[in-house]
Structure 1
């Protein structure tokens, strides 16, 4: 299977790179992305494909269940997502932060697994503790499909709230220099729903 990756590099150089050679020349000195994208690591989600953006436009972090840990004073642990957020906002000065959740999210399904099922994935289990309150908010829903729909959207809203716990994010939002956007992407239809904060609902982008 690794052969496919190597062939892909050759095809990229021959086709995509050649088609956008001037753009890559412009990008060699640096980047000025307009948006910081927080998404899930799921292989079915391709940020640049969904947003129809080119290299240099979107600064990306992806993790299990598109989580933004709430702000904490440095406690000596490594802060991957938080450090990328800091770089995007304070150094790159992005105009938007987009949190994109999606349907059929395996990370969110894992919230409801029996404890023994996660015994072999202790780091995943620890990571998902960040959104334990999201789990508690929907645990009463008996219908698995309805619960999946609710938890995936609620999780996006939770991460928007978590973003506002970062002083440098809150400051730029209040100054009108930064927009927070929440999306919910449906894999099988290509539909994207945008979170309307005033109405507290997700609305289909059309």
Structure 2
């Protein structure tokens, strides 16, 4: 059982790594001269200008209040609420704008946590973020479990995120094995 768990965690971490290497748009909030990080030179950054950086490279600049996530990239409790409502109101999995939307929510909750720590946002926003995230995850998971008992249609496959495809394959395979064990020749 640990092997299944480890393989799933490794796969999910790999997908999250891919997401962190995606570019995001940021906006400079404080002028900064150029400097080197991770063996690359960055900057100079000019206040008010937009820059596209890989998420993992943008994080140190965001943490040090040099850059902020551009409003077009934001993912706060309002956005997560929109995902949760869409999932609740639809019997099928809702196809999202990106197959990394769960990874985006996971990574962007860090920004909400930091804004709460800095007193920019109230703690209630973070609580709402967690509540809507939980609702979104649980709703998609229930739909995924229903799908795992059957063959996945091409339309349904398009609605899954990369991490959900991995989970689906694990669940589908093990549900099939479990059913065959108990049904035996009767299937």
TM-score relative to the length of structure 1: 0.26
Indicate the structure with greater strand content. Answer: 1
TM-score relative to the length of structure 2: 0.27
